[in-house]
Amino acid sequence: MTTAMRRISRTTTIKGRLGALLLLLAVLSSGSGVAGPLYWDMPAGRPFADCNLEGMKITADGALAPGLLRGSAWDLDVDLAWVMVPDGKGGYYLGTGHEGLIVRLDGKDNLETVADLDCDQVLSLAVLPDGRLVAGCEPDGQVLLVSAAGQATVLGKVPEKYVWDMTVGPQGKVYLAVGSPAALLVADPDQGGLDQVTDFPAENALAVAFGADGKLLVATQGPGLVYRLDPQAPRAKEVVLQTDQNEVNDLLAGPDGLCALALDDGTGEGQDQQPPSGDQAKAGPQRPVVMLPGVRTSGGTDVPHAALYQLEGMPAPTLIWSGDLDLMSALYVPDVGWIGGGLLDKEHPLAVLNKLTPPAGEQTLASWRGGDIMTLLPGRGPGRIMVVQTRPSRIDVFGPGGKGQRLVTGPVLDAGRAVDWGRLSWTGAAPGQEPAWSVRTGNRETADGTWSEWSRPMHGPDMKLDVPPSRFLQWRLSLPSSAGEDFTVASVTVSAWGKNRPPVISALNQENLKNVRKGGLMEPRSHLTRTFGSGLKAEFSRRAPAARPGYDERVKLGRSVKVFSWKATDPDGDRLDYELACRREGQSEWVGIASGRDGGLEAWDSSQVPDGSYRIRLTVRDDPDNPGDQALSGSRVLGPVVVDNTPPRIRDLQATARGRIIHIEFEARDEGSPLAGAFLVLADQSRERLDPRDRICDSVRESFSCDHALAASDTLAGWVRIEVLDAAGNVATGKCPVVPRR
């Protein structure tokens, strides 16, 4: 029995109708891979999303084309990179953890540490008009004022809370979004201290920004809401947006005003749920949202993971895009549109920049071996994007004007064993450009020092791969940075030749009977169900059952059926034909029992062969995927399997009665199997065990001499009936008159 069968169901039905058996199987297909010619097709067999894209993108129709070029990059010597904000002078400040550093990237691309704070995490930053910094830190909700020289002063603390975001108001005051629970605070950098402006019926306030009308917008989590309020009259706050998602993660500058990025953390908060209020809000969940990459899990709902809402510039807030990307940040870039980045793809562990195409589309603009994208910011120059990543922490710059090559590095192709690599071919359009292709090979999955160097560049639509036999191969496409948008790669195919390997039978077993019960899986009356030790169940019935079949008739149903299970695999993934055959001990000819394709379970009706000992042979062949003499086979023999379809013989059956005592004598013999039990069948069809003279019914010949006392309610019949069973399940019945004993 294969593992796949056990995973699907251990209840398989075998229906026997006068020896004609039908075996209904539930088996998972293993696919139709082959030995011989091997092919890797992209994107047909494997998506281009598996590729490392530098200066290339995936178009809306799934082809590769020139995309965003990556320019400068900085590897950060910090564990976590949380937040980055412009410094107002052409540079940026970066808040980090776990060491509580503030790092500055100046206008000349120099990276320096400007402050080492007495905290673990710098989760939020704001730059004051005079150049000083305000930092929201964790633990203990510290709010620090940092001078140009890097000296920190405590403005205040919000114990057991997180300062998720902050913005600077017109009078130089700093407004803080905190949680949990959600609240809006205000800090005065000159006078010091923190004051609460208002609280919200939510777990956390995650983002805060001033709108075009001068009012504050505050975004919350648990549920996902956006509030509008006047800081001078906070009691009049109003909800302007409630999202299907459970958190509004950020407030963003769009082409027509502020927008909101909403995320679903898996709790499934929807529009039909009203935000808590009053005491319910104060007594609500106190769980802080620690915004570490990967904390969100699938909620099993139909709510999209991410959504963008337009808050300003329209008569009412409007959904402009939604999708199932695990976004953490978004950015509007003129001439490109909305761009999103977030957690590493679970299937393809690459950092990815996506173009968000309303209303629900997405397009890969770049992918690379990076970290989780935490922040996207406008870069210096039109169309440039600053990408802040963590795990590992680094900053990359993308956009037009780069001078590097455009590279696409394909995934590592695994042939499963050393193969002879054939050709690489591609389709697409290359007007005025001659793309260069190269490959490298190795025998370890990770491309390391044991691999070959990249081959010399190859050109043309169809190229022979002149590389030694190996298990793994990787290809690379190179284009100059000047390649135009009219260049595309629609498909890439790599071929190889693999020598066929024989299939392997790892298990062949006879299913051992565990118990038998009256009634069937589908027909509860006249059928019989046999349960085997592995959990397999078999149901037997007669083609034309009697109106009221006796118990002995039902017991015989399926008695002669032997059930065999096996597990066979092919190292090349080939489809397998199987044949099950039997051979009687002492003979040389194998006789077919059953055959088929991709099986794992068969039944043999042994009533068609003489009693005796047999060998069972399973043969599997990979003929379906290998022509002629290239096909290979494997076989395995099981046995001896005893066939005993002859019931015991009952001799010299006598019954005498004296008063209410019946004395029974008889002898039972069996030629093929030991006897397993004898029973007296009473008038109400119940059974009483009869023990032989030696007390144990376990040999091929047993002698019985037994007394049976009739109960007061029993009537004395004129005959007795007995049943004798052998170890093979055969049943013999005997009947004789009761003679009065003098």
DSSP-assigned letters across all residues of 9-22: -S---EEEETTEEE
What stretch of H or E contains 621? strand 612-621
Tell whether the model's pLDDT for residue 253 goes beyond 90.
yes
Determine the average pLDDT of the residues in 121-131.
92
Q: For strands 194-199 and 183-187, give the pairing.
A: antiparallel
Q: Which pLDDT band, with edges at 50, 70 and 90, does 28 fall under?
A: very low
Tell whether the model's pLDDT for residue 681 goes beyond 50.
yes
Helix%, strand%, coil% for the chain, nearest 5: 5, 50, 45
589 half-sphere exposure, CB direction, 13 A CA radius:
2
Distances in Å between the Cα of 32 and the Cα atoms of 108, 320, 573 are 57, 43, 6
What percent of the chain is modeled with pLDDT above 90? 47
What SS3 state is found at 40?
strand
Give all domains of the chain, ordered by start, each with its CATH number: 3-33+503-643 (2.60.40.10), 38-62+406-498 (2.60.120), 125-364 (2.130.10.10), 649-740 (2.60.40.10)
431: preceding bond cis by omega (within 30 degrees): no
Cα(728)–Cα(644) distance, integer angstroms: 6
Over the stretch 56-74, which tens digit does the pLDDT of each residue have?
A: 888 888 899 988 888 888 9
pLDDT score at 464: 96
Q: For strands 394-399 and 413-429, give the pairing.
A: unpaired
Tell whether the model's pLDDT for residue 296 goes beyond 60.
no
Q: Which pLDDT band, with edges at 50, 70 and 90, does 548 fall under?
A: very low
DSSP structural state of residue 171? T
pLDDT score at 271: 39
pLDDT score at 514: 62
Cα(505)–Cα(437) distance, integer angstroms: 42
What SS3 state is found at 29?
coil
Q: Which of 734, 741, 737, 616 is nearest to 678 (CA)?
A: 734
pLDDT score at 671: 86
Q: Residue 326 pairs with which residues in a beta bridge?
A: none
Beta strand residue intervals within 644-730, DSSP E: 649-658, 661-669, 675-681, 687-689, 701-709, 719-726
Q: Which of 27-41, 239-253, 275-289, 482-496 has the lowest mean pLDDT?
A: 275-289
Residues 205 and 220: beta-carbon distance below 8 Å: yes
Tell whether the model's pLDDT for residue 33 goes beyond 60.
no
Over the stretch 40-50, which tens digit does the pLDDT of each residue have?
A: 999 988 888 88
Tell whether the model's pLDDT for residue 267 goes beyond 70.
no
Determine the average pLDDT of the residues in 399-423.
86
Cα(574)–Cα(626) distance, integer angstroms: 8
Cα(559)–Cα(576) distance, integer angstroms: 30
Residue 686 has φ and ψ, to the nearest 5°, of: -80, 165
What are the structure tokens assigned to 670, written together? Answer: 């069996």
Q: Which of 255, 267, 257, 184 is nearest to 224 (CA)?
A: 267
Cα(178)–Cα(208) distance, integer angstroms: 10
**What's the whole-number average pLDDT of the chain?**
82
pLDDT score at 527: 65
Determine the average pLDDT of the residues in 235-258.
92
Tell whether the model's pLDDT for residue 724 goes beyond 80.
yes
Q: Which of 103, 110, 82 is nearest to 390 (CA)?
A: 82
Cα(469)–Cα(231) distance, integer angstroms: 71
Q: Which pLDDT band, with edges at 50, 70 and 90, does 516 fall under?
A: low
Residues 641 and 562: beta-carbon distance below 8 Å: yes
Over the stretch 316-355, which tens digit does the pLDDT of each residue have?
A: 999 999 998 889 999 999 888 999 999 887 776 788 899 9
Beta strand residue intervals within 533-611, DSSP E: 537-540, 561-569, 577-584, 591-597, 601-605
Residues 264 and 305: beta-carbon distance below 8 Å: yes
pLDDT score at 191: 86
pLDDT score at 382: 83
Q: Residue 42 pairs with which residues in a beta bridge?
A: 492
pLDDT score at 557: 53
pLDDT score at 440: 97
Over the stretch 457-504, which tens digit does the pLDDT of each residue have?
A: 999 999 999 999 999 999 999 988 777 778 999 999 999 998 888 999
Q: Which pLDDT band, with edges at 50, 70 and 90, does 716 fall under?
A: low
pLDDT score at 406: 87
